[in-house]
A and B are shown apart, each in its own frame.
Chain A
Amino acid sequence: MGRIGLECTIVVVSACLLILDIQNQSNPLITEICSEVIDISPEETLIMDRIYSYVTQTSSLSFQLLTSALVCLYSLMMIVMLQNTQKLGELIMMVNHMISELQKFITTFGLMIIIFIIVGRLLNAEFKTEESSIFQIVLDIFDGLNGK
């Protein structure tokens, strides 16, 4: 039922986009000003007027709004279709499991990682003036954490 609703919405939004195209709106600001300095053929004028009207529309049913809606709807449709496949469903489950494991890791070691980064940056900015080996850097960070 949800999928039919999604499909209906896509059809309606697509129809709105086509209605917007049929309305044949135009904004001649660019062509009127630019025709003073460059040559613009009548066909190009029509195209540019229409494209500029698309770009600068501020009405509730604008080209940008419809395009954004279509992106959201088609992305949802892709997710719905991909969830239907057994193989990809397992992959999605695996990714979910990996995300939960990563969250556990960050919850456990996140503060330590952040402190290492902050102390490392402080050491680099304030104290380090010559290049050192990685072992020496780790040792310095360890000393920094221990207040030496």
Chain B
Amino acid sequence: MTFSVMVSLLVVVFCLIIDNEISAIADGMNTYFGAVFLSAKHIFINADTSVLEGACPGLKDQMLELSTVVSYFKILIIISGLGYLTAILQKLVVWRLKDNV
């Protein structure tokens, strides 16, 4: 049970880190483009080259960082999902066989 709580807590922490990373990307772009970057794509498309030279390196680093976090998150979700699937199967077997072995 303690292990399950720890895994759940870890998942929540990873989600918070992902949220923080996405917010950091949006904030970083807002300082360069002065607009809501994720919804106003035309500003990015029509941006001047000097602005892009300032914005793109940071954006690239942040996106790669986010990708690392997301990859770890996916591994955690797979392992955790398999654990819960096993728990469900165990309960079904106990219920079907009426045996608490």
Contact = CB atoms under 8 A, between A and B. Distances in A.
Given A38-B57, A55-B22, A78 B67 contact: no
A51 B18 contact: no
Contacts of B70: 51, 54
Interface residues of B, number: 39
Contacts of B44: 29-30, 33
A137 interface: no
A17 B41 CA distance: 26
A47 interface: yes
Contacts, number: 101
A92 interface: no
Given A14-B78, A33-B52, A50-B67, 17 more contacts: A10-B84, A11-B85, A14-B80, A17-B74, A34-B59, A37-B52, A38-B53, A38-B60, A40-B60, A44-B64, A47-B67, A48-B64, A51-B70, A55-B66, A56-B38, A71-B12, A82-B5
